[in-house]
Structure 1
Amino acid sequence: MSKSLNVVVWSKEGCHYCAEVKQFLEEKQVDYQTIDVTNHDERRDILEAKYGIRHVPVVEIGQNGMYEGVTEIGISHLEKVLAPYLQTN
Structure 2
Amino acid sequence: MSDVMNIVVWSKKGCSYCEEVKNYLNEKGIAFQNIDVSEKEELRDILQAKYGIRHVPVVEIGSGNQYQGITEIGIEHLGRALAEYAQIKEAKR
TM above 0.5, one fold? yes
Aligned length: 87
What is the match of residue 52 of structure 1?
Answer: 52
For residues 85 and 68 of structure 1, what CA distance do their matches in structure 2 show? Answer: 9
Percent identity, aligned pairs only, is 60
What is the match of residue 65 of structure 1?
Answer: 65
Structure label with greater radius of gyration: 2
Show structure 2 runs of 5+ residues with no match.
Answer: none
Could you tell me the TM-score, scaled by structure 1's length?
Answer: 0.90
Show structure 1 runs of 5+ residues with no match.
Answer: none
1:43 partner letter: L
Shift of 1:86: 4.6
Dislocated runs of 4+, deviation >6 Å: none
SS across alignment from 1:73 = coil
Deviation track 1:64-88 (CA, whole Å, cap 9, x = no partner) reads: 3210000000000001100134564
What is the match of residue 8 of structure 2?
Answer: 8
For residues 65 and 4 of structure 2, what CA distance do their matches in structure 1 show? Answer: 9
